Structure 1
């Protein structure tokens, strides 16, 4: 995973959830981010309790990775390709930086180049840190599949990072904008449940299902949100089902694109609406080591480490749903040039990439 500390800002759009249990013991799934920022807004003003259990990547027989069906998924399938590709480009990109930006290059932190050069592959799905013998090392509790950058600050619970992101989300009609889009796409209904066929789905070793609707997926914007309006004469056009107005699309895209600190132009950047069980592809994040319980109230923001598997188990009727907007942010300790380096080493996949790895 890219070691540019990926922070996930999570704006909870909960319906009837009263408890969310997060971060069980790592089940061998690849780590997502070391730091996540959560902003929770419960529809019914209910209290949300979030419990996090974090452990080191398991080597037990139960720690089996259950991958999705996306052949380009960097969490489950393409981590090895990304590692090799980044290593092959590293020298040239560094030379280019040194030539074009000599003064900035002289102050470039070498933690990312060093991490890439020291990689030994991810045949075990990213357990590159087993060589660290210190059981107290936070590195042992992070297990990204693509890139592990060791020299980034990490904390269990953080309250002073990305405050501008909290304020940005809380000052806008985030919940209304997201639900307007979901309803227009028939991905959410007050009475008829969810249009599950339109959600990306993954499973887990315990048989649970993680469903997401991507706004930004591995650095690429969802084409559904970028498409122009359908022809007004289209007989099949249905404002309540198959189409979404330009205005609603623009509101959502503008909301996301202008989020302070958004991890953009990089394959590690994701913005998605999550329905139970989610995990990410990088340890751009922070240390994640033990159970931690946090009470979350409407309008309250909480920063926390999320370097392992993230599991949500709401206490509610199975026909009712909890929904969370998850936003990946750059680790605040990264230099601007480090972000640029990561964007060039790990850009979003293109059609040529798809052909190379197909």
Structure 2
């Protein structure tokens, strides 16, 4: 749907910079002296497990949490001690935080009402934003009469009312069912491109971050483990934590060094058989010959996920194999197999 020009918010995007930012709760250090720059107009995902500091970081950008040390800059302006309303940001909370007694339209228009804007003016503005998020037909319903995805759209429209330069989202998809989550993911990406403003999105879902982000920031125990594009972070994990958290990687060791091999590039063959080489791979150095037992082979539609236990007692490995290549008699559970990989597919990890 093409939106009227007056409906779409085109605020200028603002870059966000965190300079040596820390957050303490009593004796607990939630965020430990992080430095981060998010370019204006980027879609940034703060990714990590529960307790890694990602939500505290988002709330410090928003001004909903005080900064213990360091500085927060938005659009080149130091906003560390400024109130949330003066930062040019808006936040969509995980719970959506809609007023249950108000309609969708009045929820969106609420802040204009508090500022004394005339009813007709504020409802026209709110109606335009509900149109942007495809919620015009539900304008007069209360939150209890809306689905989770519809409530999220209302919360997003409300956040956009004041034309923020940065939109901050705290796990906005976590309460949705898997099908709706994928649908809303595509909508968020489209809205970000159409609006042209900076989005910062907290998530613990690797798949979500890979699908949405221009910039992925992987966090652990209050530190930033790695930043980069989804391609960079997935294909060139810097640390063992990043490789394991993102999934799809096997972490192996040799000569005191750690390296990863992606699961889709780990070859499995019946014991005594060397996997064949495609024409494009001939001449590459091949490493492996690791004896394993197949623990399980899990059918996942287009491929099988094979879990392998090395006979030397090292941690389990995972290989992804196409349905056409899988032989249940020679590669099924309890089968003795040999694992191989190409040298070019072994990515070294930081010490």
Greater RCO between the two (CA within 8 Å, min separation 6)? 1
Larger Rg, first or second structure (1 or 2): 2
Fold shared per TM-score above 0.5: no
* Coarse TM-score class (shorter-chain normalised): under 0.3
Higher normalized strand content (fraction of residues): 2
TM-score by length of 1: 0.23
TM-score by length of 2: 0.24
Higher normalized helix content (fraction of residues): 2
